[in-house]
């Protein structure tokens, strides 16, 4: 083979040039990240219930979630752990199961289960399982602060900022921490309910039935099929006031006539401030296979575009950007490589004193 190429230098140069060009194009399109892309056939499901003992979490939170997950196609085994106010489940999938489709199926089952969970339970989350030692830090961490209540800032982050960041190419998810959960507080007069002969459970049943998520069946389109769900819920507090509450004698009362309904905020005993102002931490995760440096640049551009379009006084503080250190390391590596290449070129030029011989050696090194 060496003899064949030695008598056909044009072919050898053409192959070498093609390999160099293909390598350069592949290098420019190579996604850059601090960790390799890892996708194992496992999922992690977690939910929280502040103030609940491990026994309550196991009975009313972990067991229903585990039963719902076991009915999903492709699930091989479910392992669970219940602790104070926290439920964690590890879902092992069968070999060959699509992890993304299994995750979506589990999310559908959990959405149907949402009305049956106790009051105060945070909605369960489903994420990919990452082995220990391969966890990747959030790509970017922002702190959103402003002169508003914790619930207002948290609601602003969820409704205005998170959807914008999730639309950025390369972003896998956005998690927010801090703030408060905005909810509706219903306060009733026990004495008045006793006079009307209405048990407080009737009010709870009326509120539980205000949000309905029911499966209607399957809709078929040729060889494909999809589930059809009925989802209905009140949009404003005034809708809750019109909910019917059944009383004795067949009488029906308005919930607004029996109780005081107002918006409330629950901080879960956590307070987060920055320079004396209410703050919410925002963590942006990178999509597997996406370039960390380019994705971080797109996120920064999106956050810059949001400035001035939100409530007055809202500010963004970039707390951490892992792409900066990664870019510095790559630039340093590139500089060292260029210096080494130039040094070898200079030494060969001084020793060989023939540009064709130097070109042949350096070309072989570049091709390698």
Q: Kindly state the helix (H) or strand (E) to which residue 13 belongs, with its residue range.
A: helix 9-28
pTM for this entry: 0.59
Q: CB pairs under 8 A, 24+ apart, for 195-200?
A: 196/247, 196/248, 196/253, 196/258, 197/247, 197/248, 198/245, 198/247, 198/248, 198/253, 198/258
Percent of the chain with pLDDT over 90: 3
Predicted local distance difference test score (pLDDT) of residue 289: 72
Give the SS3 label for residue 4: helix
Predicted local distance difference test score (pLDDT) of residue 308: 80
Q: Which residues pair with 80 in a beta bridge?
A: 89
Q: Averaged over 5-11, what is the pLDDT?
A: 73
The Cα-based distances of 335 to 197, 338, 349 in angstroms read: 82, 5, 21
> In this model, does residue 157 exceed pLDDT 80?
yes
Q: Provide the 8-state DSSP code for 242.
A: T
Poorest-pLDDT segment among 22-36, 104-118, 181-195, 353-367: 22-36
The burial of 32, by beta-carbon neighbours within 10 Å (0-12 exposed, 13-18 middle, 19 or more buried), is given as middle
Which pair of structure tokens corresponds to residue 129? 């399982």
> In this model, does residue 155 exceed pLDDT 80?
yes
Q: 120, 123, 114: which is closest to 214 by C-alpha?
A: 114
> In this model, does residue 95 exceed pLDDT 60?
yes
> In this model, does residue 213 exceed pLDDT 70?
no
Predicted local distance difference test score (pLDDT) of residue 366: 72
Predicted local distance difference test score (pLDDT) of residue 142: 92
> In this model, does residue 137 exceed pLDDT 70?
yes
Q: What pLDDT digit, counting tens, does each position of 299-356 carry?
A: 999 998 888 888 888 888 898 888 888 888 888 888 998 898 888 888 888 887 888 8
> In this model, does residue 115 exceed pLDDT 80?
no
Q: What pLDDT digit, counting tens, does each position of 56-82 carry?
A: 889 889 999 998 888 888 888 888 999
């Amino acid at each position: 083979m060496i003899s064949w190429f030695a008598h056909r230098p044009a072919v050898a140069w053409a192959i070498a040039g093609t390999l160099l060009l293909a390598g350069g194009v592949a290098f420019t399109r190579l996604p850059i990240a601090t960790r390799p892309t890892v996708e194992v056939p496992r999922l992690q499901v977690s939910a929280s219930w502040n103030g609940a003992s491990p026994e309550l979490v196991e009975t009313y939170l972990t067991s229903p979630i585990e039963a719902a997950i076991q009915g999903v196609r492709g699930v091989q085994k479910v392992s669970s752990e219940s602790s104070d106010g926290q439920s964690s489940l590890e879902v092992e999938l069968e070999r060959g199961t699509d992890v993304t489709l299994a995750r979506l199926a589990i999310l559908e089952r959990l959405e149907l289960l949402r009305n049956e969970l106790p009051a105060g339970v945070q909605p369960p989350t489903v994420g990919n399982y990452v082995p220990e030692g391969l966890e990747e830090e959030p790509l970017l961490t922002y702190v959103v602060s402003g002169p508003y209540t914790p619930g207002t800032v948290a609601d602003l982050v969820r409704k205005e900022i998170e959807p914008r960041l999730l639309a950025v190419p390369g972003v896998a998810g956005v998690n927010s921490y801090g703030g408060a959960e905005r909810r509706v507080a219903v306060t009733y007069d026990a004495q008045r309910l006793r006079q009307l002969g209405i048990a407080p459970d009737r009010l709870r049943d009326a509120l539980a039935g205000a949000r309905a998520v029911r499966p209607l069946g399957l809709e078929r389109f040729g060889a494909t099929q999809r589930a059809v769900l009925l989802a209905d819920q009140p949009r404003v507090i005034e809708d809750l006031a019109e909910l019917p509450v059944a009383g004795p004698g067949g009488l029906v009362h308005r919930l607004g006539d029996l109780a005081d309904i107002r918006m409330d905020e629950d901080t879960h005993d956590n307070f987060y401030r920055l320079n004396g102002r209410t703050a919410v931490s925002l963590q942006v995760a990178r999509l597997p296979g996406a370039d960390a440096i380019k994705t971080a640049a797109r996120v920064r551009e999106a956050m810059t575009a949001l400035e001035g379009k939100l409530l007055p006084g809202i500010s963004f503080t970039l707390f951490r950007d892992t792409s900066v250190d990664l870019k510095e390391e790559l630039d340093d590596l590139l500089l060292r490589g260029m210096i080494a290449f130039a040094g070898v070129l200079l030494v060969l030029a001084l020793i060989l004193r023939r540009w064709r011989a130097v070109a042949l050696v350096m070309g072989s090194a570049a091709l390698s």
